[in-house]
């Protein structure tokens, strides 16, 4: 019984320590006011960044055609 209680207390102690560290952690995010806004919230912004990172090289011709109005 003591061993289970000891592990439980240790788990609670480490969990509260982790929560405290998370609350204290603040990282300044880079904000670019000149960047095009093509997102509706932060989650969508991250998703769009991932898409651009993985598929950007394949879609740049299509994006250029759409901007010029010459896409079929």
CA 45 – CA 41 distance, rounded (Å): 6
Asked whether the beta carbons of 4 and 12 are under 8 A apart, the reply is no
CA 35 – CA 20 distance, rounded (Å): 34
Average of per-residue pLDDT values in the chain? 80
* 26 against 63, higher pLDDT: 63
| Helix, strand, coil percent content, the chain, rounded in steps of 5 | 70, 0, 30
pLDDT at 6: 53
* pTM attached to this predicted model: 0.47
pLDDT at 7: 57
* Residue-wise pLDDT tens digits, 29-50: 777 788 888 899 989 999 999 9
């Amino acid at each position: 019984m003591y061993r289970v209680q000891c592990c439980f207390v240790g788990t609670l102690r480490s969990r509260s320590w982790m929560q405290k560290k998370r609350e204290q952690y603040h990282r300044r995010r880079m904000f670019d006011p000149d960047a095009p806004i093509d997102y509706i919230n932060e989650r969508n912004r991250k998703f769009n960044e991932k898409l651009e990172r993985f598929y950007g090289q394949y879609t740049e011709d299509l994006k250029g055609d759409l901007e010029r109005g010459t896409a079929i």
